[in-house]
Amino acid sequence: MQTATIRHGRSTRRVVRETLGKVAIYVILLPLTAFVMLPFLWMLGSSFKPIGSGIRFPPQFIPNPWVFTNYPLVFQTIDFLGYTRNSLIVTLGAIIGELLSASLVGYAFARLRFPGRNVMFVILLATMMIPFPVTMVPTFIVFKIIHWIDTYLPLIVPAFFAPAFAVFLMRQFFMTINRELDDAAKVDGCNELRILFQILMPLSKPALTTIAIFSFTANWNDFLGPLIYLSSAKKYTLALGINYLRSFRGGGDLAPQMAAAMMFSLPCIIMFFLGQQYFVQGIVTTGIKG
Amino acid sequence: MIKNEALAPARKVRQGMGLARREAIMGHLLASPWTLGFLLFTLGPMVASLYFSFCDYKVVKPPVFTGLANYSRMISDELCFKSLSVTTIYTVVSVPLGIIAALAVAVLLNQKIAGARVIRTIFYLPSVVSGVAVSLVFAWIFNYKFGILNYIIGLTGISGPDWLGSPRWALWAFILMSLWGIGGNMIILLAGLQGVPVSLHEAGMIDGANSWVRFWNITIPMISPALLFITIMSIIGSFQVFTQAYIMTGGGPAYATLFYLLYLYKNAFSWFDMGYASAMAWVLFIIIMLCTLATLRGSESAVHYEGA
């Protein structure tokens, strides 16, 4: 009945107003969208420009002439493949650790009753607010004492100790799975680990994917961690490596830098397009319920 | 309900106690990765850094207790003060600006317009690209003579500032750059907006409320939990700016972009003054806690929780 009244009130004036409103929205949104796109387009375009175009005025938007040698130049200047391998070791190691530990802990928090559980969960949520810099110094000292500096261990091992964000996400997801499933399994004599790995985990692919994607971008892009823990250039991750490029002859130029930045960003961009709904789901879960 | 719960343990005493104990042990066992991690990588280091903050500790020699020396040095350390003021100005400007911009974009995208999905994707894209790559790109964009930003500004007849080269403008370049990354907050707000029941707006319309009134009295209260969350997270994030400053300016010119974390990093890992860096870390922790509490307190009456 209400909608009928509203619909009835639709006059041509109203249609005109709505159309004008939509035009106004585009007038505001499109320049902002261009502002967001510009650095990406600039990075992409510049990676195909000839050497020396960084110091040309006016700056070109479209390369002229198109040059494809910047990409091979990056490989010749720094050990790009080696750094990629190092980044993959760190990133994949951390992802495995995070998925495994967050599943175990998330299951405990979602399904099992044990004394102190609620207090522990509140502490877990609170630790999400503690920034890494606060614990950075003593953590570094401990890793130094046990001779882990200049290895990948400080970048991988902590992920096996259930990072709070991943645990939170897993717990929230497990809570949405019908409890009757694991009760039935319990009756059949399944223990907790079997319930977790054979019943809950196969149903939790969306949550696991979300964690894997977030973990990938976080570890792939991490700069401060590798900067502190890795000292020999051979062991650098890509994040350090592409910054290192600047210190080489020819690496200070716009074009090779943008080519390196492109190759470095591409995995994350591709991952984003493949797993967009997981990204959105992940942010929204933590944002709304956190 | 209550009766049942009270009765259940009593009934299960014989056969149940063993099971409940087993579950408790299993629970702690499965949760142990987090418990251990919390002790090893959060609580332990925090206690240790609290102790170091009262020590003269230069890594090569064992720590020597010096009481409040590091903290009193912080008060008289001009660079420390500078780094705090740089970070504070950055926070005070970029956090509200970023949230208003994110909210504005989210509201516009929430209207039924063609292409909203594509625009949403574009806005979120900066969030997945790394600080390093972004810093390299922006360092060129902000270039005084050859940068594209000053070229565009130049088209209007104004000559753009030496963004990263002048102490007056460098911090503004970082603030501008932070606005580029509002996509994450925008998505959270957009999800919040999509959760506002249409019926509330319809009811408001029938009562004759125009869209402005409805925005302030329906939309804002309904998304206030999301707004609170992104405010707190943005403040925490802005106190941790590091990579951009490390790569683009190294803290310069004339310390105009000496962000707090950059100065902390230099103390710890360039000058190996772990005691002083620990004191700085604790002050950072206290600042973040105070900001969070202040935001929570200040918003107590304003934030509306559904069903609360």
Same domain, B40 and B92: no
CB B247 within 8 A of CB B135: yes
- Chain A CB contacts of B108 under 8 Å are 25, 28-29
pLDDT computed for residue B1 by the predictor? 37
pLDDT at A137 exceeding the cut of 70 = yes
Distance from CA of B285 to the nearest CA of A (A): 6
Count of A-B CB contacts under 8 Å = 273
pLDDT at B179 exceeding the cut of 80 = yes
Given B36, B125, B148, which is nearest A59 (Cβ)?
Answer: B148
Question: Is residue B308 assigned to a domain?
Answer: no
Give yes or no for A146 touching B (CB within 8 A): no
Same domain, B34 and B94: no
Give yes or no for A105 touching B (CB within 8 A): yes
CB A95 within 8 A of CB A215: yes
Interface of A with B in 195-214 (CB under 8 A): none
Distance from CA of B70 to the nearest CA of A (A): 15
pLDDT at A152 exceeding the cut of 90 = yes
Yes or no, beta carbons of B59 and A141 under 8 Å apart: yes
Distance from CA of A103 to the nearest CA of B (A): 9
Element (H, E) at B55: strand B55-56
Q: How far apart are CA A242 and CA B251, in angstroms?
A: 20
Q: How far apart are CA B294 and CA A229, in angstroms?
A: 35
Give yes or no for A21 touching B (CB within 8 A): yes
Yes or no, beta carbons of A141 and B44 under 8 Å apart: no
**DSSP track, A163-201:** -HHHHHHHHHHHHHS-HHHHHHHHHTT--HHHIIIIIIH
User: Which of A17-26, A211-220, B71-80, B277-286 is predicted with the least confidence, judged by mean pLDDT?
Assistant: A17-26
CB A70 within 8 A of CB A258: yes
Question: Is residue B290 assigned to a domain?
Answer: yes
Using the 8-state DSSP alphabet, how is residue A60 labeled? Answer: P
- Chain B CB contacts of A54 under 8 Å are 140, 143, 146
CB A2 within 8 A of CB B206: yes
CA dihedral sign, ordered B307, B299, B222, B177: negative
As a whole number, mean pLDDT of residues B39-43 equals 91
Question: Is residue B97 assigned to a domain?
Answer: yes
Question: Is residue B211 assigned to a domain?
Answer: yes
Distance from CA of A243 to the nearest CA of B (A): 7
Question: Is residue B306 assigned to a domain?
Answer: no
pLDDT computed for residue B234 by the predictor? 92
Give yes or no for B202 touching A (CB within 8 A): yes
Average pLDDT, chain A: 87
Give yes or no for B192 touching A (CB within 8 A): yes
Grade residue B306 by pLDDT with cuts at 50, 70 and 90. Answer: low
Number of domains chain B is built from: 2
Given A5, A105, A269, which is nearest B33 (Cβ)?
Answer: A105
CB atoms within 10 A of CB B163: 25
Tokens of A86: 């190092």
pLDDT computed for residue B7 by the predictor? 45
- Chain A CB contacts of B59 under 8 Å are 141, 144
pLDDT computed for residue A287 by the predictor? 61
User: Which of B80-89, B109-118, B176-185 is predicted with the least confidence, judged by mean pLDDT?
Assistant: B109-118
Give yes or no for B169 touching A (CB within 8 A): no
Average pLDDT, chain B: 87
Distance from CA of A146 to the nearest CA of B (A): 13
Vertex A181, ends A178 and A187: CA angle to 5°? 140
Question: Is residue B258 assigned to a domain?
Answer: yes
State the number of CA atoms in the 13 A half-sphere of B52 facing the CB.
Answer: 32
Grade residue B3 by pLDDT with cuts at 50, 70 and 90. Answer: very low
CB A279 within 8 A of CB A285: no
CB A120 within 8 A of CB A167: no
* Residue the block writes with tokens 């103390």: B267
Q: Is A66 exposed, middle or buried (0-12, 13-18, 19+ CB in 10 A)?
A: exposed
Same domain, B16 and B159: no
- The residue count of chain B comes to 308
pLDDT computed for residue B192 by the predictor? 87
Grade residue B15 by pLDDT with cuts at 50, 70 and 90. Answer: low
Give yes or no for A150 touching B (CB within 8 A): no
Question: Is residue B50 assigned to a domain?
Answer: no
Distance from CA of A134 to the nearest CA of B (A): 5
ipTM surpassing 0.90: no
Using the 8-state DSSP alphabet, how is residue B218 labeled? Answer: I
Interface test with B, best of A137, A170, A243 (most B CBs within 10 A): A137
Interface test with B, best of A112, A134, A193 (most B CBs within 10 A): A134
Grade residue B196 by pLDDT with cuts at 50, 70 and 90. Answer: confident
pLDDT computed for residue B297 by the predictor? 86
Same domain, B21 and B152: no
Same domain, B26 and B90: no
As a whole number, mean pLDDT of residues A77-92 equals 94
pLDDT at A289 exceeding the cut of 60 = no
Instruction: Kindly report, residue by residue over B225-242, the tens digit of the pLDDT.
Output: 889 889 988 999 999 999
CA A10 to chain centre: 46
B287: domain CATH number is: 1.10.3720.10
CA A120 to chain centre: 26
As a whole number, mean pLDDT of residues B280-295 equals 91
Instruction: Give strand pairing partners of B55.
Output: B65
Same domain, B217 and B151: yes
Same domain, B86 and B221: yes
As a whole number, mean pLDDT of residues B170-182 equals 93
CB B29 within 8 A of CB B21: no
Q: Which domain holds residue B246?
A: 76-299
pTM for the structure as a whole: 0.88
Q: How far apart are CA A22 and CA B302, in angstroms?
A: 31
pLDDT at A31 exceeding the cut of 60 = yes
Long-range contacts of B202-209 (CB under 8 A, 24+ apart): B202/A2, B202/A3, B202/A6, B205/A6, B206/A2, B206/A5
Same domain, B169 and B26: no
pLDDT computed for residue B92 by the predictor? 96
Same domain, B13 and B81: no
Grade residue A80 by pLDDT with cuts at 50, 70 and 90. Answer: very high
Over the Cα atoms of chain A, what is R_g? 25
User: Which of A277-281, A285-289, B208-212, B258-262 is predicted with the least confidence, judged by mean pLDDT?
Assistant: A285-289
pLDDT at A169 exceeding the cut of 60 = yes
Using alpha carbons, select from B226, B213, B230 the residue that is nearest to residue B292.
B230
CB B212 within 8 A of CB B128: no
The amino acid at A158: P
As a whole number, mean pLDDT of residues B74-79 equals 92
Grade residue B73 by pLDDT with cuts at 50, 70 and 90. Answer: very high
pLDDT at B82 exceeding the cut of 90 = yes
Dihedral, CA of residue B261, residue B266, residue B271 and residue B276, to nearest 10: -20
Instruction: Kindly report, residue by residue over B44-57, the tens digit of the pLDDT.
Output: 999 998 999 999 99
As a whole number, mean pLDDT of residues B105-120 equals 88
- Chain B CB contacts of A217 under 8 Å are 128
Residue of chain B with shortest Cα separation from A283: B188
Same domain, B119 and B14: no
- Chain B CB contacts of A227 under 8 Å are 246, 269
> When comparing pLDDT for A129 and A267, which is higher?
A267
Percentage, residues of chain A above pLDDT 90? 42
Same domain, B35 and B95: no
Residue of chain A with shortest Cα separation from B203: A2
Yes or no, beta carbons of A276 and B243 under 8 Å apart: no
Instruction: Kindly report, residue by residue over B124-151, the tens digit of the pLDDT.
Output: 889 888 789 999 999 989 988 888 888 8
Question: Is residue B65 assigned to a domain?
Answer: no
* Residue the block writes with tokens 């006059």: A11
pLDDT at A7 exceeding the cut of 60 = no
Helix, strand, coil percentages, rounded to 5, for chain A: 75, 0, 25
Yes or no, beta carbons of A138 and B187 under 8 Å apart: no
Alpha helix segments (H runs only) across chain B: 2-37, 44-52, 69-76, 78-110, 116-124, 131-141, 148-155, 170-180, 183-194, 198-206, 211-214, 220-238, 243-248, 260-265, 274-299
Using alpha carbons, select from B170, B154, B146 the residue that is nearest to residue B245.
B170
Yes or no, beta carbons of A120 and B136 under 8 Å apart: no
As a whole number, mean pLDDT of residues B121-125 equals 89
- Chain B CB contacts of A167 under 8 Å are 34
CB B227 within 8 A of CB B189: yes
Same domain, B118 and B190: yes
pLDDT computed for residue A1 by the predictor? 44
Grade residue B16 by pLDDT with cuts at 50, 70 and 90. Answer: low
Q: How far apart are CA B212 and CA B218, in angstroms?
A: 10
As a whole number, mean pLDDT of residues B92-102 equals 96
Residue of chain B with shortest Cα separation from A47: B137
pLDDT computed for residue A237 by the predictor? 95
* Residue the block writes with tokens 């806690």: B289
